[in-house]
Amino acid sequence: MSYQAQTRELELSENEPKEGCDTGQRKITADQARVLFSGICTLIVTVGVARFAYTTLLPVMQQQTWLNEASGGWLATSIYLGYMCGVLLAASTNSLERKYRLLRLYLVLSVLTSVAMAWTDDLILWSVLRFIAGVCGSGGLILSSGLILKWLIKHRYPGELGIHFSGAGLSIAGAALLVEGMSAFDLNWQEQWIGFAVMAAVFAIPAWFWSPHPGPDNAGATVDTSDDRPPSRTFFLLMLAAYFCAGYGYVVDATFIVDIVERQEALTGQGQIVFLLIGLAATPAVILWDRVARRTGYVKALLMAYLLQIAGIILPVLDNSLTTVMFSALLFGGTFMASVSLVLTMAGRMYPSNPAKMMGKMTLAYGVAQIVAPVLTGVLAQSSGHYDTGLYIAAVVVFIGSLLLMGLLYLEQKESRDEVIAETMVCCQQK
């Protein structure tokens, strides 16, 4: 059975009412809300603070320390080297209990690495701290997403992560608002890092207590793989390559967007507002894209998101007016996290027995792109004095990703046709 047909079958089973529940529109239960909120808080801590705090603080660090575009790009690469290690670590274990404990460790380390950033201005130490933060970022994202998706499926809730991934958008918006507030009090870069550590500590509390524990019956037990729906090798490789392209496009804008805006003379002081718009757009977008995927299928939804993201990346190069840049931020914010949510939901639903494993493979491709892109973009910006070339390259790479998604659509249609032909032949032979 093709992945497309398997997904439809899974969606039908998920839409069946739970035993004892009303057959009307299902409301979010208290347990479900608590688990989803824990995921949102986890992403705010591990993705928002451990990852995006650096993006929002990059301009002030460049103003108040020796940090320049090239060294800023190397620090971003340190984050993504850690990101890769976090992916490998998350995907290397089948023990749900170990994953649960790692997730808690990442919550603590996200707070500690933020505090430690204020204690030094040494590039090597900064790189080590950003590396650890990268481990926390990818590990927190994959482990929390996997544990929550498994919990949702186990309790017969819709296997969708849109609400969970809204935490990433909220963390971006929260980071921008926090920097604006701290700047209003004229806090220096060190004090602002401590402010982010406090923010992480606050949201780590509900994340710590409400994250779904796998339970004694699940941890270390024999895994039932009967519900797994592995894709064909060709489908997997195309999906992997397309997600690599998404990672490249995402990291250029996400890492340098504040600095890109602040470099424009007419837009000085607007960087955090643009970053805030990205977060505000990303928060509801992941939920809306879940609905689009229900109607069109995941691959078609991804294709639409990629094409809109290309426009979001390239618009600031074509026109640097505030209106255009703000529209670009809305497009980028409305698509980049949706791509992550859709791909990881697809990956997790392929292997409900161990969602984090397939999520890890996808995120590995995403992470490879995020190692290459910041260094290349930072060096190009340092040599040319602007980010235009880096943005053009990012847009081209995402466009290549959209072509790969078109290949996935063709493959899905071909597999569906082959299944119909095979079923018809079986019926004819039986007659």
Q: How far apart are CA 44 and CA 46, in angstroms?
A: 6
- Predicted local confidence at residue 426, as pLDDT: 57
* Residue 70, Cβ density class (10 Å: 0-12 exposed, 13-18 middle, ≥19 buried): middle
- Predicted local confidence at residue 74, as pLDDT: 83
Question: Token match 């439809």: residue?
Answer: 8
Higher pLDDT, 15 or 223: 223
Contacts for 317 with CB less than 8 Å, ≥ 6 apart: 388, 391, 392
Calculate the CA dihedral of residues 322, 331, 244, 359 and round it to 10 degrees: 130
This prediction has a pTM of 0.76
Q: How far apart are CA 46 and CA 121, in angstroms?
A: 22
User: Cα angle vertex 228, ends 101, 14, to 5°?
Assistant: 90
- Predicted local confidence at residue 376, as pLDDT: 85
Please report, for the chain, how many H helices and E strands are present, in that order. 15, 0
Total residues belonging to the chain: 431
Q: How far apart are CA 56 and CA 36, in angstroms?
A: 26
DSSP string, 362-399: HHHHHHHHHHHHHHHHHHHHHHHSSSHHHHHHHHHHHH
At 226, the pLDDT band (50, 70, 90 cuts) reads low
3-state secondary structure the chain: CCHHHHHHHHHHHHCCCCCCCCCCCCCCCHHHHHHHHHHHHHHHHHHHHHHHHHHHHHHHHHHHCCCCHHHHHHHHHHHHHHHHHHHHHHHCCCCHHHHHHHHHHHHHHHHHHHHHHCCCCCHHHHHHHHHHHHHHHHHHHHHHHHHHHHHHHHCCCCCCCHHHHHHHHHHHHHHHHHHHHHHHCCCCHHHHHHHHHHHHHHHHHHHHHHCCCCCCCCCCCCCCCCCCCCCCHHHHHHHHHHHHHHHHHHHHHHHHHHHHHHHCHHHCCCHHHHHHHHHHHHHHHHHHHHHHHHHHCHHHHHHHHHHHHHHHHHHHHHCCCHHHHHHHHHHHHCCHHHHHHHHHHHHHHHCCCCHHHHHHHHHHHHHHHHHHHHHHHHHHHHHHCCCHHHHHHHHHHHHHHHHHHHHHHHHHHHHHHHHHHHHHHHHHHHC
Maximum CA extent, the chain: 82
- Predicted local confidence at residue 427, as pLDDT: 61
- Predicted local confidence at residue 231, as pLDDT: 80
> For residue 351, what is the DSSP state?
-
CA-nearest of 92, 412, 5 to 236 is: 412
Q: How far apart are CA 198 and CA 248, in angstroms?
A: 31
Higher pLDDT, 19 or 148: 148
- Predicted local confidence at residue 217, as pLDDT: 45
- Predicted local confidence at residue 417, as pLDDT: 64
Task: Give yes or no for residue 342 having a pLDDT over 60.
Answer: yes
CB atoms < 10 A from the CB of 11, how many?
15
Contacts for 280 with CB less than 8 Å, ≥ 6 apart: 169, 173, 333
**Taking a C-beta distance cutoff of 8 angstroms, is the pair 260, 312 a contact?**
no
Q: How far apart are CA 145 and CA 137, in angstroms?
A: 12
Q: How far apart are CA 71 and CA 384, in angstroms?
A: 15
For 159-171, write each residue's pLDDT tens digit.
778 888 898 889 8
CB atoms < 10 A from the CB of 311, how many?
16
For 76-108, write each residue's pLDDT tens digit.
778 878 988 998 888 787 788 888 999 999 999
Q: What structural domains does the chain harbor?
A: 31-215+232-430 (1.20.1250.20)
What is the chain's mean pLDDT, rounded? Answer: 83
At 305, the pLDDT band (50, 70, 90 cuts) reads very high
